Amino acid sequence: DAGITQSPRYKITETGRQVTLMCHQTWSHSYMFWYRQDLGHGLRLIYYSAAADITDKGEVPDGYVVSRSKTENFPLTLESATRSQTSVYFCASRFSPHRVDEQYFGPGTRLTVT
Amino acid sequence: EDKVVQSPLSLVVHEGDTVTLNCSYEVTNFRSLLWYKQEKKAPTFLFMLTSSGIEKKSGRLSSILDKKELFSILNITATQTGDSAVYLCAVPHRDDKIIFGKGTRLHILP
């Protein structure tokens, strides 16, 4: 499928479990991003990547790990899930660092940590 | 610290009303401001504003930027129930990362 996809779309997990959220884009965009969205906080950047094997922290990186071995994939791992990580997670990508109006979002993953 | 502040946080109006959503910002090396619409799914892009005083318009939606006073407004005229959504204001800052406001939740009553 063309575009940007996320999987799973919904996930329920228990506190302490490791969870990986997947993001895949077919545009060969260099830049990819992970955001979380919570009521009262808007969208907050967790991690971003400027290219394969280049990642950097965003605003709220604690408790998360990312990797980018291939341009098209940008998985986000919660090493030991906590209830505070219950959220909706959005992946996004764009081709250029400057064309911010061409940043596209995936459909989101709703994660519940019990 | 760079920040984007939106007001009001929520708004309920009747169909046909006109609404104005506000966004103020404090960002180093400002280059542009973005508006998105989010309807229970991923945000979708509405406008990008880079120059002060120039209005961007798409149908019943319009937006203007005031770089001197560091704010933008999004106007929606003749609102419809389909306009119900969260409207997000965002500004790219250092390293072209985008920071978002908390959004305005707009509900249009039929």
Locate A19 and state its tokens. 């969870």
Chain B residue nearest residue A90, CA to CA: B42
Q: Do B48 and A97 touch (CB under 8 A)?
A: no
Contact criterion met (CB < 8 Å) for A43 and B100: yes
Question: What are the structure tokens assigned to B3, written together?
Answer: 């920040």
Share of chain A above pLDDT 90, in %: 88
Task: Measure B37 CA to nearest chain A CA, in Å.
Answer: 12
Q: What does the pLDDT look like over B42-100, one tens digit per residue?
A: 999 999 999 787 889 999 999 999 989 999 999 999 999 999 999 999 999 876 789 99
- Give the one of A41, A103, A106 whose C-beta lies nearest to B98's C-beta: A103
Write the residue in A58, A98, A101 that is nearest to B97 by C-beta: A58
Residues of chain A positioned with their CB less than 8 A from the CB of B90? 43
DSSP structure string for chain A: --SEEEE-SEEEE-TT--EEEEEEESS--SEEEEEEEETTTEEEEEEEEEETTEEEE-S--TTEEE--SSTTB--EEESS--GGG-EEEEEEEES-SS-GGG-EE---EEEEE-
pLDDT band at A1 (very low <50, low <70, confident <90, very high): low
> Nearest Cα to A82, choosing from A64, A58, A109?
A64
Predicted pLDDT of residue A98? 83
**B97, A103: Cβ pair inside 8 Å?**
no
State how far residue A3 is from chain B, nearest Cα, in angstroms: 13
Query: Which residue, A51, A104, A45, A97, is CA-closest to A76?
Result: A45
Q: How far off is chain A from B57, nearest CA to CA, in Å?
A: 15
Mean pLDDT along residues A39-52 = 91
Which residue in B3, B6, B1 sits closest to B63, CA to CA? Answer: B6
Q: And the tokens for A103?
A: 């940043």
| pLDDT score for B40 | 83
Give the pLDDT mean for B37-41.
91
- Answer for the pair A89, A105: CB distance below 8 angstroms, yes or no: no
Give A3-25 pLDDT, tens digit per residue: 999 999 999 999 999 999 999 99
